[in-house]
């Protein structure tokens, strides 16, 4: 069959797959725009299907007109906007003026934006702070539909394991008045406002001194995560841990990840205190990656004494020595049915499981890399 004989429905399916399969600025409207310029038939099909234009991808060279044009093609649909400013040169004034205008243009479409991804070098976040935060803090603008927000500072830190993050990451005043915000992801960004974070369901922190700066804020009572009563997914990577209130209540957490914590960011006892006040009876997925020294010792000690996860389904241990892991630890993981081990000594865990069928009885095989290892003696 010739491609010209394909029906509009099949072509739309192909266009939709192409739009969603590529990452960031290579996906979304970056795909649909050239598709609409292939021929008259394709253009007519693409322009009459608003959903193809609801995922707007922009670069630092994109004009405000392009943002307006693409959003208008989505008609009345809510739109997601991804802006990649990593290629913007820092030695001229023109690109900075251009970026300032582009950010201001976002405010024009604020009522329709449900997701915003912003990747930029460190100095661009200074502009973001100046343009958006000034106007938002004045109470003139809100993002009423915004549900997902991702900030990535592309400034490469290259910190060694013994170097802390707290003094390395700038604290840009990132403020969003977004009452529907549910998912927040920050890499090398430290916001200084919790205004729209109270109802988050998902929080990802990487290379961020967020919690360190938050502890010293005079206008925020208690501690950062004490307000996040609806949080269901929490991931902390290469960052300082938060300090909870002394008597934390049960959370709704179903997914929890700790990755590559540095001793320089977390003094002895910090992880133990954090875990002891974070109760997660609904937890289903636990991932621990790259904990060493006293940080791993504190995790194992907590797992053996305080942890209880009746709803747990999967456990992932990645890049760990597993020193000190014993039967008491595995009893805390008794409800798990899937265990993934990556770059660890599998033998110790397998021997424990094979010697005692009561340990993690739902685990019949262990996922090791791309393969699976059967635990003998279990049907």
pLDDT in tens, 2-19: 666 677 778 777 777 776
Q: Classify 86 in phi/psi space as left (phi over 0), alpha (psi -120 to 50) or beta.
A: alpha
Phi/psi at 54 (5° precision): -85, -5
Compute the residue count for the chain.
379
The average confidence (pLDDT) of the chain is 76
pLDDT in tens, 34-79: 777 778 887 888 888 888 888 888 776 666 677 888 888 888 899 9
Please state the pTM of the whole predicted model. 0.81
pLDDT attached to residue 13? 78
State the number of CA atoms in the 13 A half-sphere of 367 facing the CB. 12
pLDDT attached to residue 222? 38
pLDDT attached to residue 316? 94
C-alpha to C-alpha distance for 209 and 218, rounded to whole angstroms = 17
Boundaries of every domain in the chain: 290-379
pLDDT attached to residue 286? 95
Instruction: Extract the residue ranges of the chain whose pLDDT is less than 50.
Output: 156-159, 166-167, 169-171, 173, 213-226, 247
3-class SS at 345?
coil
Say which residue the tokens 């050239």 belong to: 34
Strands 113-120 and 338-342: unpaired
> Please, which residues have CB within 8 angstroms of residue 134's CB and are 6 or more apart in sequence?
none
User: Please, what's the b/e burial string for 332-358 (b: 16 or more CB within 10 A of its CB; e: otherwise)?
Assistant: bbbbbebbbbeebebeebbebbeeeee
| DSSP letter, residue 54 | S
Kindly give the residue spans of alpha helices, DSSP state H, lying in 129-189. 134-137
pLDDT attached to residue 85? 75
Cβ proximity of 166 and 159 under 8 Å:
no
- Cα separation values, 363 from 47, 287, 288, 367, 374, Å: 51, 16, 18, 10, 9
Q: Give the pair of three-digit tokens for residue 273.
A: 């205190």
């Amino acid at each position: 069959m010739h491609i010209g004989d394909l029906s509009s429905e099949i072509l739309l399916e192909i266009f939709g797959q192409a739009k969603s399969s590529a990452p960031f600025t290579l996906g979304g409207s970056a795909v649909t725009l050239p598709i609409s310029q292939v021929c008259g038939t394709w253009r007519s099909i693409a322009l009459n299907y608003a959903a193809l234009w609801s995922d707007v991808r922009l670069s630092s060279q994109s004009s405000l007109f392009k943002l307006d044009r693409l959003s208008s093609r989505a008609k009345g649909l809510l739109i997601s906007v991804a802006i990649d400013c990593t290629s913007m040169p820092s030695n001229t004034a023109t690109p900075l003026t251009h970026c300032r205008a582009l950010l201001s243009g976002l405010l024009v479409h604020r009522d329709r934006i449900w997701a915003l991804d912003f990747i930029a070098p460190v100095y661009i976040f200074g502009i973001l702070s100046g343009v958006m935060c000034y106007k938002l803090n004045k109470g003139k603008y809100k993002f009423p539909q915004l549900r997902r927000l991702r900030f990535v500072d592309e400034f490469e830190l290259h910190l060694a394991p013994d170097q802390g993050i707290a003094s390395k990451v700038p604290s840009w005043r990132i403020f969003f008045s977004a009452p529907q915000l549910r998912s927040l992801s920050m890499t090398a960004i430290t916001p200084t406002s919790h205004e729209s974070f109270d109802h988050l369901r998902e929080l990802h922190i990487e290379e961020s001194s967020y919690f360190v700066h938050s502890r010293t804020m005079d206008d925020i009572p208690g501690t950062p995560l004490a307000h996040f009563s609806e949080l269901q997914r929490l991931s902390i990577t290469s960052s300082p841990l938060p300090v909870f209130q002394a008597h934390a209540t049960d959370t709704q957490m179903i997914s929890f990840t700790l990755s590559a914590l540095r001793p320089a960011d977390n003094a002895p006892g910090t992880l133990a205190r954090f875990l002891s006040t974070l109760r997660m009876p609904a937890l289903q997925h636990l991932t621990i990656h790259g904990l060493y020294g006293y940080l791993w010792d504190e995790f194992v000690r907590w797992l053996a004494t305080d942890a209880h996860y009746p709803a747990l389904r999967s456990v992932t241990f990645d890049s760990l020595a597993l020193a000190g892991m014993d039967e008491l630890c595995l009893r805390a993981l008794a409800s798990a049915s899937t265990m993934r081990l990556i770059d660890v000594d599998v033998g110790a865990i397998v021997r424990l499981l094979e010697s005692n069928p009561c340990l993690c009885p739902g685990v019949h095989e262990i996922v090791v890399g791309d393969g699976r290892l059967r635990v003998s003696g279990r049907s």
